[in-house]
Structure 1
Amino acid sequence: MTHSCRRLRRGVVTAVAAGMLMVPMTGGTAFGAPASVPAGATAVGPLGPTDPASPSPGVFTELTPDVVNQIEQSVQQVMREANVPGVTVGIWTPDKGRYIESFGVADKSTGEEMSPDLFLRIGSESKTFTVTSLLELVDQNKVGLDDPIGKYIDGVPNGDEITLRQLAGMRSGLFNYSEDDGFFKALTSDPERSFTPQQLLDYSFKHPVLFQPGEKFYYCNTNLVLLGLVVEKMSGQSLGAFIKDNVTEPAGMNDTLFPVGAEFPTPHPQGYTNQTATGEVEISTNWNPSWGWAAGSMISTLEDLHAWARTVATGVFPNGDTMITPATQKQRLTTLPTGIPGAAYGLGIFNVQGWIGHNGSLPGYETLTIYLPAAQATIVVMLNTDINHDGTEPSTLFGQAVTKIVTPGNVFNLPAAPAAR
C-alpha cells in the first residue's frame, strides 16, 4: 500500500489474519488489500502453511533476558525505521514466559508515554467479532452459512447467489464501498461525520459486481456490513448489544466495546494518520469510526485482546465454556489461499504461517492479535499510527520482527497485496 490518502479507498486488510480491514480503515491493511485465487482452491488446515525448511515450526523460544533484549532492540529498530510514535507489545505462553512492554509516546505534543493500559481502536479486528456473532446464530439454527444473503437483505447485487459463507470468507464479488470515490471524498472532507450501514452499502451497490460469487478472494468491507445487518435482523438486537451479550462479556472482555459514535474511553493515545484529504499527517483521535461499523469500528485493550486471541482461535471462552461448537469452529478455520504468499483466510480470520487471528488498521491506529496453536502462544501489538513504511503496515513489521526471534519456524509476514485496479 502506498502512503497516499488514496489508501483509504482500498479497504485494506493488512495485518494479519485480519487486520485487514483496512481502508481508511476500518481495519487492517495488508490483509484488506484485494487479492485473488482460482476458484475451487484447496483449503489448508487449521495451522496454515509453514515452510518445511524453516526451523522447528511450532517451537517457541523461551523468553530469557537475552531473548527479551533481542525483542526490545528489534521493536525499537522498527519504531525508528517506520517512524512509529508509540507501541505496546504483549507476548504470552504457558511455559516459556510472558512479556509486556510499551515503547515511545502516546502523545507527541505532550510526551506522554505509551502504556499497556490504554484503549485503542482495533479496526478490522472487529470483523472477528461480527463473524463470531454470525456463527453463534448458525449454532442456534437461526441462519445457515450457505443461505443466500438475499434471504435476509433486499437489494444486494447477486443477492440470490452470494452466500453468508462467501461474505465471511471475502469471496462475494461485491464492490468494496471503501474504494468508492464518493465515499472517500465524504469521509476525508468531514472525518467526524456519521455513516449509516445503508449509506455504506449504497456506495458499494452503485458499482457492478467484480466477479461471480466464490470465484476469487477479495477483501471487502461491504461483506461485513451485510453480515452485521443479518446479525441484527435475526437476533433482534443491535450488533453492538449482541456482541456485548454473547461475545465480549462471556469472554470477560469488559474493556471492549462497539461504539455508537466517536466515543473513545480514556486513557487512550493520540492517533496519527496520513489517510487525509491532503495526504498530510493529522491527528485522528476523534474521528468517527462509524464508516467501519461491523467491519472496523470497535475499541479494546491489550489484556482483552490477549483473552480474545485464544478464544477466537479455539472457539472456547476463557472459563472453558463453548463459544462456537467444534463443528462450526472447524468451518471458521477452514482457510483458502488469498494470493498473498503464506496467508490464507477462513471465515473472518486469517492464518499466516500458522498464526491465527487478525490485524486491524483504522486512521491513526493499528493492532495485531494472533495465536499459534502449536505453541499455545499469543502475541498482541498495539500502536498509534497507520502510516505504512515501504508499502508495509507497521503492525506487520512488528509482528515479523518479534516472531523472527520467538518462533523462527513460524515467522508472521503479511506483505501488502497489490491493488485491484
Structure 2
Amino acid sequence: MARSSTTVDRGRPRIHRRTAAAIGTALVTGTLLAAGAGAHAASWSSPAAPAHARPHGPVMRQLTPEVRAQLDRAVRDVLTTTGTPGVTVGLWAPGKGSYVRSLGIADKATKAPMSAGFNMRVGSVTKTFTVTALLRLVDHRQVSLDDPVSRYVHGVPNGHRITLRHLAEMRSGLFNYLLDPGYGKAYMADPRRVFSMKEMLPYSFKHPVAFPAGSRFDYSNTNTVLLAMVVEKVTGQSFDRYVARHVLEPAHLDHTFMPAGPGFPAPHAHGYTDQTADGSLQDATDRNPPGGPSGAMISNLHDLRSWASVLTGGSLLSPATQAERMKLEPTGMPGLSYGLGIFANHGWLGHNGSLPGYQTVMVRLPGAGATLVVHTTSDVAFHGKGPATKFASAVTRIVTPKNVYDIPAPHPAHS
C-alpha cells in the first residue's frame, strides 16, 4: 500500500503530496507499530526478551532541582527539534518527587499556552478501556477469553477460529480497516463523520485474513471494534454506557469519556496534523477521531495518571483475570511485548495513542512506582518517530536510564 514519503530539511520533515488513498495508512502512523502496522506488514526484527523479564530492577533518579532542570532542557529541545506546538509531561514517583510541565502553545491562532488541565484526545489508549470492559465480563462469567468471536458477531472472516483472547492480544490476523484506501477516502471526504462499528468492519472484512489466529502479533484496530461489539451483544447496553458505568465510574475517572461525535469540550488544546490529502499541515481539532472504541476517548493528565495505576495493578479485575491480561508476548520489536490491551515497553507498562493532531503516552514502571503521561498537540513524525515517543524517550533517558521508553522507527522497506 502506498505510504507517505518524507525528506528532511533543516531538521524538519517536508511532506510530499499524498493521495487520499494513502490516508488510511497515515491514520495509524505513530501508534504502537508506527508506520509498520497493518495486517499484511512484514515482520519486524527478531523478538527480544521482554524488558519486564530482565533480572535487574528499574533504577529511578531522585527528581532534584538539578534533574528537573535537566528535564526542562530535554523537553524544550524535543519541542523545538520536532516542531511540536505544545506538550504536557507528567512524571510521578513516590519518594522520588514529581515533574509536571506544559510547554509551547495550545492554539496557533491565539498563541494560548498549553495547560496540564486540558481535556485531550488519547487515541489508542482507548484500547485499554475497551479491553478492560471485556475483562470485567470475563470476571462476571458472561464471556470466556477462549470463546470464538463468531459466537457474538456474525460474518467475521475466520471468526470460528478467532477467539476473544486473539482479538485482545492483537493476534487475530484481521486486516486493520484504517489501512483500507476506501476508508481513507471516506474519512477525508468528511472528517467529522461518525462511523458506526458496523460501518467500519466491511473495510476490514473485504481483505483476506493474514495468518492463522494466534500465530503472530499484528496491530489492528478491527480487533478492538469487535470486542466492543461483543460487549454490546452480551450486556444489551451501548458500549459507551457500559464502559462508563463499569470501568470509568469504579476507577473514579471523572474527566474521561467516549465522545458521541467530533465534539471536544473545553478546555482543550488544538491539534495539528499532516494527515491530509496534500500533506499540508492542518488543524485537526474538530475532526471526529477515527476508531471509536479503538481510539476515540478523551481524558486528561491526572485521570491518566490514576488509570495507569489501575490498569497495571488490576484493581478492577480478579487476580486471575489480571494475570491473563499480563501474559505479555513478544511483538517482533526489540523491547516491546503485548498482553491483553496493554504493552510492556522496555519495562514500562501501559499504552500509547496517536490520531490526527494528537499523541499520548501513558505508562507505569511498577518496580519504581513511577508513572509517565505525555500529551502532544501534533502527530507529525520526526525521523520516523512520533513526537510523543520522542518526549517519552527524552524523559526516561534521564530518569530511568536502564528503562528508556522507545518504539523503533519503521524498517526502511516499509517507510
Give the CA deviation at 1:303. Answer: 0.6
Question: In 1, Cα distance between the equivalents of 2:409 and 2:257?
Answer: 28
8 Å contact from structure 2 (residues 45, 334) kept in 1:
no
8 Å contact from structure 1 (residues 102, 116) kept in 2:
yes
Question: In 2, Cα distance between the equivalents of 1:10 and 1:275?
Answer: 6
8 Å contact from structure 2 (residues 121, 296) kept in 1:
yes
1:23 is aligned to none
**Identical positions, percent:** 47
Are residues 1:404 and 2:397 paired? yes
Paired residues for 1:23-102 under 5 Å: 29=34, 32=37, 36=43, 48-50=52-54, 57-102=57-102
8 Å contact from structure 1 (residues 61, 406) kept in 2:
yes
1:392 is aligned to 385
Paired residues for 1:110-125 under 5 Å: 110-125=110-125
Listed one character per residue, the Cα deviations across residues 71-108 of structure 1 (whole Å, up to 9, x for unaligned) are: 11011111111100000000111110011110000001
Question: In 1, Cα distance between the equivalents of 2:45 and 2:327?
Answer: 16
1:294 is aligned to 293
Which amino acid letter does the alignment assign opposite residue 239 of structure 2? L
Q: Aligned with 1:165: secondary structure?
A: helix
Give the CA deviation at 1:243. Answer: 1.1
Paired residues for 1:277-316 under 5 Å: 277-289=277-289, 291-316=290-315
1:25 is aligned to none
Question: In 2, Cα distance between the equivalents of 1:352 and 1:11?
Answer: 22
Which amino acid letter does the alignment assign opposite residue 295 of structure 2? G
Q: Which runs of 5+ in 2 are unaligned?
A: 7-14
Q: Aligned with 1:416: secondary structure?
A: coil
Q: Aligned with 1:229: secondary structure?
A: helix
Which amino acid letter does the alignment assign opposite residue 191 of structure 1? P
1:186 is aligned to 186
Work out which of the residue numbers 363, 374, 384 in structure 1 matches 2:367. 374
Work out which of the residue numbers 351, 367, 390 in structure 1 matches 2:344. 351
Are residues 1:413 and 2:412 paired? no
Give the CA deviation at 1:237. Answer: 1.4
8 Å contact from structure 1 (residues 29, 361) kept in 2:
no
Work out which of the residue numbers 28, 32, 36 in structure 2 matches 1:12. 28
8 Å contact from structure 2 (residues 27, 355) kept in 1:
no
1:169 is aligned to 169
Q: Which runs of 5+ in 1 are unaligned?
A: 21-27, 317-322
1:24 is aligned to none
Q: 1:128 to 1:210 in 2, by over 3 A?
A: same
Question: In 1, Cα distance between the equivalents of 2:36 and 2:129?
Answer: 17
8 Å contact from structure 1 (residues 38, 215) kept in 2:
no
Question: In 2, Cα distance between the equivalents of 1:204 and 1:416?
Answer: 25
Paired residues for 1:166-315 under 5 Å: 166-289=166-289, 291-315=290-314
Which amino acid letter does the alignment assign opposite residue 65 of structure 2? P
Give the CA deviation at 1:235. Answer: 1.5
Q: How many residues align?
A: 396
8 Å contact from structure 1 (residues 335, 351) kept in 2:
yes
Q: Please, which moves more after superposition, 5-14 or 340-349?
A: 5-14
1:340 is aligned to 333
Question: In 1, Cα distance between the equivalents of 2:35 and 2:93?
Answer: 26
Q: 1:294 to 1:420 in 2, by over 3 A?
A: farther
Which amino acid letter does the alignment assign opposite residue 280 of structure 2? E
Listed one character per residue, the Cα deviations across residues 169-201 of structure 1 (whole Å, up to 9, x for unaligned) are: 111011110110100111112111121111110
Give the CA deviation at 1:58. Answer: 1.0
8 Å contact from structure 2 (residues 119, 298) kept in 1:
yes
Which amino acid letter does the alignment assign opposite residue 153 of structure 2? I
Give the CA deviation at 1:240. Answer: 1.1
Question: In 2, Cα distance between the equivalents of 1:259 and 1:416?
Answer: 31
2:12 is aligned to none
8 Å contact from structure 1 (residues 120, 301) kept in 2:
yes
8 Å contact from structure 1 (residues 105, 111) kept in 2:
yes
Give the CA deviation at 1:7. Answer: 6.0
TM-score w.r.t. the length of structure 2 is 0.91
2:142 is aligned to 142
Which amino acid letter does the alignment assign opposite residue 356 of structure 1? L
Q: 1:10 to 1:272 in 2, by over 3 A?
A: closer
Which amino acid letter does the alignment assign opposite residue 28 of structure 2? V
Q: 1:35 to 1:349 in 2, by over 3 A?
A: farther
Question: In 1, Cα distance between the equivalents of 2:57 and 2:89?
Answer: 22
Question: In 1, Cα distance between the equivalents of 2:400 and 2:42?
Answer: 27
Question: In 2, Cα distance between the equivalents of 1:367 and 1:166?
Answer: 25
1:320 is aligned to none
Give the CA deviation at 1:216. Answer: 1.4
Q: Aligned with 2:363: secondary structure?
A: strand
Which amino acid letter does the alignment assign opposite residue 412 of structure 1? Y
Question: In 2, Cα distance between the equivalents of 1:11 and 1:234?
Answer: 30
Q: Aligned with 1:100: secondary structure?
A: strand
8 Å contact from structure 2 (residues 23, 277) kept in 1:
no
2:319 is aligned to 326
8 Å contact from structure 1 (residues 225, 293) kept in 2:
yes
Which amino acid letter does the alignment assign opposite residue 81 of structure 1? T
Question: In 2, Cα distance between the equivalents of 1:420 and 1:211?
Answer: 19
